[in-house]
Chain A
Amino acid sequence: MISAPRPTPHPACSIAPPDLLSRLASQGTAEQRDAALSALAASASMRTQRSMLSQVRRRLGNEVANQLAGLDVTPERRQTIYDNQRQGRSFLPGVRVRGEDDPPTADADVNGAYDGSAATYDFYRDVFNRDSLDGQGMELVSSVHYGVDFDNAFWNGAQMVYGDGSGRVFVKGALAQSIDVVGHELTHGVTSFTANLAYSKQSGALNESFSDVFGSLVKQRHLNQTADQADWLIGAGTLVPALGKALRSMSAPGTAYDGDRQPDHMDGYVDLPDDNDPRNDNGGVHINSGIPNKAFYLVASALGGQAWGTAGAIWFHTLTERLQSKAQFVDAAEQTMQVAKEMFGDTAQSSVASAWQQVGVIS
């Protein structure tokens, strides 16, 4: 039970701690709320103000905080980049090399991870009003130079990890400097906090596809591209040229590199076991993601314009509000159709239905 509110303190008297302010904002009278939030607005430096408002916002949720404040409150990005110094898992995260307020360093991978993470955070905040991966403003932590010539980048459940690449699969230094690779990996974090799609077979391929979708959209927004201007490639230029141009093509799955096995239709679905055999890729999660990837590309192309505002909005709402951990392709099809209707109406719903039909997920 909430106790009766106390008399309103004079707003200009002091800078109240965020704890007190958020308590006033959530439990006080309308006047107390206004006073508490005006006190913030009137009191501190812009940066301190933003930091405090961010905390209020995290406590109350974005919508409530914005309503109460009547202010344009921007949540604050927090990130730190570490150097793993090629030592691998036992030395994570490594040596701190760049914080949110620090200038660029001499290390291009440090700066690439910083810029890519910043662009991804800003994308989720500015486009979808989501404050970081968990929606609660969690700090983005990245480690570069992970392991020795390590040919991979991944989200380990708590932070980003980037290898240098061996020069046999990945170009040295390319992974941390590829904005859509960074967006792809951080989106695995968003997925883990929302639909938490099981990383196996179809639900795993959906998990992969959402990471490709939002990785590509982070890049498209960074370049201010419309759907018809985008290259729809994931990790362009990260593979050694002898292997191919990119890791995946969303517009033409199966064409990104020599040996790319991605299908663009259910007729080509590759049914692999999820048995920890490295050849089977958790049941083909990076293979069959070509099917939902192509569906997204078709929707974005049909709706036109900047894909993050249309198709991206449908996919984001579906990922964060509608899908369950065991979702299959047909569930993604049904939910995106429903969300399209709710957000944009019948024409958008038809475009989404048509896309899933074209890739053979629904008839």
Chain B
Amino acid sequence: MKVSVVRGGGLAGITTRTEVSRSALPTAAAGILDRLVEEAGVREPPAPSSPSGPDQMLYEVEISDDDGTVRVRFTDADLPDGVRKLIEWVDSRAEKIHRLDV
């Protein structure tokens, strides 16, 4: 499984991509990732994203595994708590890959 977070918009208008692969994680961390993905609920069909306010960050979270790929989009105004926690956890991992997405 791989989790990708694309962030764009915002004050800067700069797009970045941050990814973490489950296979790169120690066993305990992989278990935490499984739980966070489950709690984020992004495997459900996404609700339509609300219109964005000025400089709000736009998010696309993608979860890929053997079953396929699920992709959901949010803004700062409607980012669910579970998804936010998943993103913060991915950001905190040394194993992540972070780059500009252009």
Contacts and interface: CB of A to CB of B under 8 A. Distances in A.
A291 interface: no
A327 to B, nearest CB: 15
Contact of A276 (B15, B52, B91, B102): B52
B63 to A, nearest CB: 16
Contacts of B6: 278-279
Interface in B62-76: 73, 75-76
B51 to A, nearest CB: 7
Contacts of B55: 152-155, 185, 188
Interface string B58-101: 11100000000000010111010100100010010000001011
Q: Contact size class for A? A: 35 or more
Contact of B91 (A166, A188, A282): A166
Interface in B1-45: 6-16
Given A88-B84, A166-B91, A276-B49, A286 B12 contact: yes
Contacts of A156: 53, 56, 76-77
A247 B51 CA distance: 24
A153 B11 contact: yes
Interface string A193-228: 000000100000001100100000000000000000
A279 B53 contact: no
Contact of A279 (B8, B11, B49, B57): B8
Given A89-B76, A156-B53, A276-B73, A235 B11 contact: yes
Contacts of A239: 12
B101 A149 contact: no
B11 A247 contact: yes
Interface in A253-280: 257, 259, 276-280
A281 interface: yes
7 contacts: A152-B56, A152-B57, A199-B52, A243-B100, A247-B12, A277-B60, A286-B9
Given A154-B56, A259-B102, 12 more contacts: A88-B81, A151-B7, A151-B12, A154-B10, A168-B98, A169-B16, A185-B11, A191-B54, A199-B51, A239-B12, A279-B6, A281-B15
